Amino acid sequence: MGTVTIGVSIAVPEPHGSRLQQLRAGFGDAAAYGIPTHVTLLPPTEIDEAVVPAVEAHLAEVAVAARPFPMRLFGTGTFRPLTPVVYVQVVEGGAACTWLQKQVRDPSGPVPRELQFPYHPHVTVAHGIDEAAMDRAYADLADYEAQWPCTGFALYEQGADGVWRKLREFPFGTAVVPPQAGSVDRGSVSAH
């Protein structure tokens, strides 16, 4: 067995996911169609292929301990000049994403990964393209908005062709979205 590159993320559902993917491609980001539109919980991480079952078991435990929460995207942000990225902001659900990513990367688990930068939930819409295209992405999506009930996350593997493919979905422990779905983010994920 060799190594594989995995990632864990919350998929941006349709029609929002494919719309943002098309826009990302339109800004000139060649990687757009190889990366499903998402909010990262575990960035690309190389692991031994033999560890995948332990990772899946760990992710199932994390998902069972969580509950659905409202997600809302609005407006743009950027990590420039530090990193050449323009993104759509997570304005509701961020605290829940932060909780989830900490559980996924727990030091006692199979992927105790340290992050290069502090965790900041977002949806990338332009990465590593020329500055004018980055500026256009930032301006064109300044009023972009989407919302949905987040009911789980998924494990992805990056193929030799650079394309990310879903290996398995992990639904949360209950399918009921809390009544505050239209209100301000209060970090509504918690352990049962």
Q: Kindly report the CATH number assigned to the domain that includes residue 153.
A: 3.90.1140.10
Q: Which residue has tokens 């559902």?
A: 13
Q: What is the pLDDT of residues 6-57, one digit of tens each?
A: 999 999 999 999 999 999 999 999 999 999 999 999 999 999 999 999 999 9
Asked whether residue 185 is assigned to any structural domain, the reply reads no
* Cβ contact 47:3 at 8 Å: yes
Segments forming the whole domain that contains residue 76: 3-172
Asked whether residue 190 is assigned to any structural domain, the reply reads no
**Domains in the chain, number:** 1
Radius of gyration of the chain (CA): 16
Q: What is the pLDDT of residues 105-118, one digit of tens each?
A: 999 999 998 898 89
* Cβ contact 162:170 at 8 Å: no
CA 106 from chain centre, in angstroms, equals 17
Asked whether residue 114 is assigned to any structural domain, the reply reads yes
* pTM for the model: 0.87
* Phi/psi at 69 (5° precision): -150, 155
Asked whether residue 127 is assigned to any structural domain, the reply reads yes
Is the pLDDT score of 155 beyond 90? yes
Band the pLDDT of 180: cuts 50, 70, 90: very low
Asked whether residue 131 is assigned to any structural domain, the reply reads yes
Q: What is the pLDDT of residues 53-93, one digit of tens each?
A: 999 999 999 999 999 999 999 999 999 988 999 999 999 99
